[in-house]
Chain A
Amino acid sequence: MKRIFAQNPLFQVLFFLIVSIVIGFGNNWLRDDSIPLLAEKLTIATTDDLLSDIAGESVLKAIDLEQARKFYFEDVVFVDARDLEYYEEGHIPGAWNSQDFMELSFRLDSHQGKDRSIVTYCDGDDCGSSEDLAYDLQGEGFMKIFVFVGGWSEWKETGYFIE
Chain B
Amino acid sequence: MKFITQSSIFIISFRLIIGGILVFASFDKIGSPDDFARDIANYHILPFGTENLFAIILPWLELTIGLGLIIGIFVNGAALLSMGLMGIFILAIGSAILRGYNIECGCGLKEGEMVGIGKIAENAVYFAFSWLVFKRGGRWFEILPKSG
Given contacts A16-B64, A16-B77, contact A128 B42 (CB under 8 A): yes
A143 to B61, CA, bound (A): 35
A20 to B63, CA, bound (A): 8
B residues in contact with A11, CB < 8 Å: 77
Among A9, A11, A24, A128, chain B packs the most CB atoms within 10 A around the CB of A24
A20 touching B61, Cβ below 8 Å: yes
Which single residue of chain A is at the shortest CB-CB distance from B47?
A: A38
**Chain B 17-33 against A: per-residue CB contact (8 Å), 1 yes, 0 no?**
00000000000001011
A residues in contact with B65, CB < 8 Å: 16
**Chain A 14-28 against B: per-residue CB contact (8 Å), 1 yes, 0 no?**
111101110111011
Given contacts A12-B76, A39-B51, contact A6 B57 (CB under 8 A): no
**Chain A 117-138 against B: per-residue CB contact (8 Å), 1 yes, 0 no?**
0000000001111011001000
B residues in contact with A131, CB < 8 Å: 38
A14 to B84, CA, bound (A): 13
A-B contact pairs, 28 of them (CB 8 A): A7-B145, A9-B76, A9-B134, A12-B78, A13-B77, A16-B61, A16-B78, A16-B81, A17-B61, A19-B64, A20-B60, A24-B61, A27-B30, A27-B56, A34-B33, A35-B37, A35-B56, A37-B52, A38-B52, A39-B37, A40-B49, A127-B103, A128-B39, A128-B42, A128-B103, A129-B103, A135-B34, A135-B38
Q: Which 9 pairs across A and B sit closest by C-beta, in order of nearness?
A: A12-B77, A128-B42, A12-B74, A6-B145, A20-B61, A38-B49, A9-B76, A20-B60, A24-B57
User: B residues bordering A, Cβ < 8 Å?
Assistant: 30, 32-35, 37-39, 41-42, 44, 48-53, 55-61, 63-65, 68, 74, 76-78, 80-81, 101-104, 134, 144-146
